[in-house]
């Protein structure tokens, strides 16, 4: 998470959307950077609303707008699947080393997900709060040009990002039946993504 106070803007760090590279590029210019631990770096909107937003509201009498990047849902799961194939997870419950992507997505669709498929939800991460706190600027990971244009215009910064924390390559073959199951079980993910791209 990064805050640009003069621009009255907070940028949430949705996992698997390139936010590590953004933090590296923008860290010197941000007024607040939370990069560790992961639970705070990747704080969802409800955590921002509960802990960070009140600080700016009460101390600075300022309401910040919220920006975030969302990835196409199947691609997002694909990134998690590949990330969890890294050798340092071998033998651990979170490893996907001996699973196909189809099996991983099937496990993600279970009511009680096994550890390797327990990766959260972009829709839940970005869910608007009862008090009106919401993501005011949502961008698609697959087309980042509008995001960069918005951020440069809003902050006045010129910056370049370099790829970081890139997941290893992997076979992301997904059967039509499993894809349909994912879409049926989690329509909110696809509806939110489609709201950006339509």
| String of DSSP letters for 74-126 | HHHHHHHHHHTTSGGGTTSTT--TT--HHHHHHHHTSSS--GGG----HHHHT
CATH architecture, domain 2-197: 3-Layer(aba) Sandwich (3.40)
C-alpha span between 82 and 49 (Å, rounded):
31
Average pLDDT, the chain: 96
pLDDT in tens, 87-132: 999 999 999 999 999 999 999 999 999 999 999 999 999 999 999 9
Cβ neighbours for 58, distance < 8 A, ≥ 6 positions apart = none
pLDDT tens, 153-185?
999 999 999 988 788 888 999 999 999 999 999
This prediction's pTM: 0.95
Residue 137 to residue 196: CA distance in whole angstroms = 9
Q: Are 182 and 106 in contact (CB under 8 A)?
A: no
Q: Do the beta carbons of residue 90 and residue 159 sit within 8 Å?
A: no
């Amino acid at each position: 998470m990064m805050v640009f106070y003069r621009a009255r803007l907070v940028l949430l760090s949705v996992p698997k959307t390139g936010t590590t590279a953004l933090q590296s590029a923008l860290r010197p210019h941000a007024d607040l950077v939370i990069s560790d631990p992961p639970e705070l770096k990747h704080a969802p909107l409800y955590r921002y609303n509960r802990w960070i937003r009140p600080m700016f509201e009460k101390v600075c009498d300022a309401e910040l707008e919220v920006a975030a990047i969302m990835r196409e849902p199947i691609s997002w799961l694909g990134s998690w699947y590949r990330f969890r194939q890294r050798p340092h997870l071998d033998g651990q419950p979170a490893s996907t080393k001996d699973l196909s992507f189809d099996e991983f997505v099937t496990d993600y669709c279970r009511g009680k997900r096994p550890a390797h498929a327990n990766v959260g939800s972009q829709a839940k991460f970005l869910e608007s709060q009862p008090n009106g706190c919401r993501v005011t600027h949502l961008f698609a990971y697959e087309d980042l040009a509008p995001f960069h244009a918005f951020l440069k215009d809003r902050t006045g910064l010129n910056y370049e990002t370099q790829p970081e924390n890139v997941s290893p390559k992997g076979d992301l073959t997904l059967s039509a039946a499993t894809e349909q199951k994912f879409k049926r079980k989690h329509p909110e993910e696809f509806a939110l993504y489609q709201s950006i791209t339509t």
